[in-house]
Each structure stands twice: as C-alpha cells, then as structure tokens.
Chain A
C-alpha cells in the first residue's frame, strides 16, 4: 500500500489534475473515434449507390434530302435517372411506305407514355413494344411501319431492344461495334448458305434482300432484346441512330472522326457534320442520340 499522506498537498493536487485531464482526453478520443467510424460508414453506405457512372447525352435530328422528317427520337427525363435509369430510342419510318413520320412519332410517343420501364423486366418491355407494333398493324395493316432501337441504361448496365435495321453502336477502346443485328432477308440467306457450307456472296448481291423481316407495324413482331444486361465502363460511347447515319458514315469512319476527350455534344456535332460533309444527293433522314458514360465526382 502507498502512504499518500507522505506526499505534500501540491503534489496530490497536481496528480488529481493530471488524472482528470487524462480521463477527459481519453473520453474525447473515444467519442471522436466512434463518431468518425459512424460517419465514414454512413457516408460509404449513402454514396455506394451514387458511385455509378453518369450518362452525358446529346442528339441531332436532321432531315437530309427528304421532304419529311420520318425519324423520331425519345429520351427519358434526366431527373428520373437515379430511380429509373435512362431510356433512349430512335424510330425510323420505313421508306416506300406511307405515313412514316406519323408511325415513328406514334412509336416514340407511346414509349414516353409507358415510361418508366423495369430494368430487369426485359420481356415485359418487349411486350410493350409488341403492343405498340400491333396497334400500328391494326391501323395500317402493313401499309406503314417503322424501325425501333432503344437502350435502357441503369447502374452501369445496359439492356437494348431492336426491331428492323436501325443501329445501336458501342464505341469502346477506340473500336466501334454494332450491337444489334439487322432483321432483314440477308440474315436469313446467310444462315441458309452457311448451313450448306457455301460462301455468302449471293446474300449481299440482291438489293431486295435488305427488305425487313420484322419491324414496328408487323403483327406480333419478334423484338430483339438482351435477356441479361451488358456491363458498361467509363468512356463507353453508345450511339442510337437511324440508318441514315451509318449509310453515309460507316462505323470505322465514326471512330476516326471523334476524339475521346469529347463530350456527348461534341461527338454528336462531329457525327452530324461528318454526315453532312458527304453531300449525299439522296441523303436519308439522319438522327442519333449519343450517350457517353462518365465517372461522376463527388
């Protein structure tokens, strides 16, 4: 046992003050540590969902040499992006048929009315498109039609839907890839020729083979869609366009024209003037929505 009575009063007072200061410092440390831990976890949890790529979106919508604008675009409200993602669609009225502009606008208007779409409900979304197609069929009985390409981007993943021969293009690592396949007779001919062990040159010779086998306006159309979403990465560029763009500017030319530090507006502008510069005397309507995936900074 210590005999504290041997210590003088001043020393005891100093020891008590030191002890009190130590306790205050220790308690403060514990409080600050707990608070910091809580705050960090809270921040991480809160921002976990926000730590996704964001979509930078731009579009152009040009008439070309046609009398009417038969392309129609739809971009979902950006203020709903966090909850329902981004939906971007392009519909192109079918050449040679009447009311192309009416049908393509009906398609995009109907898509707008049906927004929002469930991201993991691909079959339901395809059913919506089939229903739109059936309504066009009821009205025109194959006398009018349109193509449709639509992408749905949510949490760094993308689903896409396609009917006809418009384009969904992904530019990644300086390489452009057409994601959807064209639903025309060329596809059927290639399948038959390849199965027979033949080359497929004949499939490309007949211009009538470019005729569509499916489109909006066909009864119970077969919508091409992703059954599982595709992962997107930073700096991916997604282009949803009518064939008026790629007829004048093939994929490799698009890649050669754009710069990877451009934003969506710059890319859209570059493609638009790239098509214009071709001065094609029979330039079809050309429209596109450009989406660039960017990292968001907090």
Chain B
C-alpha cells in the first residue's frame, strides 16, 4: 500500500507558479509542475493538467513525457512519478527532483524504473523546496516520522526555521511504501 501527502504553499509570492497533480487510474501517478522560469506559468500548468488527466495520462511514462515535451514550453520543469507493482517509474525535466530513503541512506531517485522495498520513502519537490534542506535533515526526518504527513511537517519546520515560509512557492509530495 502506498501512502502519500501533498504540500503546496505560496511562500509569500503573488501567485502559484508550481502545481501538484495526482492521477489515481490506472495506478497512482504523482506529478509536480514548476513554471518559475515561464512568463505565463498558469496557462502551461493548465495544459499540463489537461494532458495528464486525458487518456494520454494513462499511457506509458515515456510516451507521456514525449507528449509533454511536444506541447509544453521548453522552460517548463516537471517530474512525473508512477507507482508500479514492484517499484516506481519516474521521469523529470529541469530542477524538480525526488529523493529516496532506503536502509538508512538517502539518494537522488534516478530517471526510469526503480524497484522498491518495504518502508522505502520518497520525497519529490521543486528545487526551491530542497534548497533549504540538507540531505541529512531529510533523512533524519524520514526515519523518525510515522506517517507521510508527519514527515512533511518536519521538513516544513526546517524550511520555516530559515525562511518563515517567505521564500517563494513550495511544492512537495512525500510517499511511503507500507509493508
């Protein structure tokens, strides 16, 4: 069973340039869009959402990525992460990325398929979210937190201690594979 928790905060900016999307069929697909380098991020975000929720969204992740590359502005950044039976498949463009916590260590989630084992934890977020966090802090919180929401709250506390959440858009998703 996969548990997840999403977080989105304007971070004292005028508008949202990030967006978090979820699609539950045929399997859980998590997508984070970051339009901070775009002139009109909202229109690109809407386009992203339309494609993801259309029938294209249920096709293979490589196919979906090709559609995004074809339709979206080149400055659009995103990460798509799909939960499969035995692992997770992800693809990212730009600075949106994911970290995986496994066996007491943390590493960057690579593009492509990645096998998961029980109690692996994943956080995907924009670069602005990761900017205020250290790898060791993310790791420690993942090992202490009982749930994805608790893990997220700990990460937010760390960001808040440095920025008081006045640091621009913050978007992230925490995921946990329960045994």
Contact = CB atoms under 8 A, between A and B. Distances in A.
Interface of A: 157, 160, 170, 172, 175, 177-181, 187, 190-191, 193-194, 197-201, 203-204, 224-231
A291 to B, nearest CB: 15
A230 B139 contact: yes
Nearest to B139: A230
A226 B140 CA distance: 8
A199 B143 contact: no
Closest 9 CB pairs of A and B: A231-B104, A179-B140, A177-B136, A226-B143, A200-B160, A201-B164, A199-B165, A177-B134, A231-B105
Given A190-B157, A199-B164, A204-B164, A229 B136 contact: no
A194 B9 contact: yes
A175 B137 CA distance: 11
A112 B23 CA distance: 52
A232 to B, nearest CB: 9
A228 B140 CA distance: 10
Contacts of B93: none
A190 B156 contact: yes
Nearest to A201: B164
Given A170-B136, A177-B137, A197-B9, A227 B143 contact: yes
Contact of A230 (B7, B119, B140): B140
Given A175-B134, A190-B153, 4 more contacts: A179-B137, A190-B157, A226-B140, A231-B105
A160 B140 CA distance: 9
A227 B136 contact: no
B134 to A, nearest CB: 5
Contacts of A193: 165
Interface residues of B, number: 26
24 contacts: A157-B104, A160-B140, A172-B136, A175-B136, A179-B140, A181-B141, A187-B153, A187-B157, A190-B156, A194-B153, A194-B165, A197-B9, A198-B165, A199-B164, A199-B165, A200-B164, A226-B140, A226-B143, A227-B143, A227-B144, A227-B146, A229-B143, A230-B140, A231-B104
Given A230-B104, A231-B103, A231-B105, A191 B143 contact: no
Contacts of B74: none
A198 B9 CA distance: 8
Nearest to A233: B105
Interface of B: 7, 9-12, 103-105, 119, 134, 136-137, 139-141, 143-144, 146, 153-154, 156-157, 160, 164-166
Nearest to A227: B143
A198 B166 CA distance: 9
Nearest to B138: A177
Nearest to B133: A177
Contacts of A170: 136, 140
Nearest to A186: B157
A254 B105 CA distance: 24
A191 B156 CA distance: 8
A157 B143 CA distance: 12
Given A177-B136, A179-B140, A194 B156 contact: yes
A124 B156 CA distance: 29
Given A181-B157, A194-B9, A199-B166, A226 B144 contact: yes
A181 B164 contact: no
Contacts of B12: 199
A180 B166 CA distance: 23
Contact of B160 (A160, A190, A228, A229): A190
A204 B144 CA distance: 24
B10 to A, nearest CB: 6
Contacts of A178: 137
Contacts of A198: 165
Nearest to A193: B165
Contact of B143 (A172, A177, A228): A228
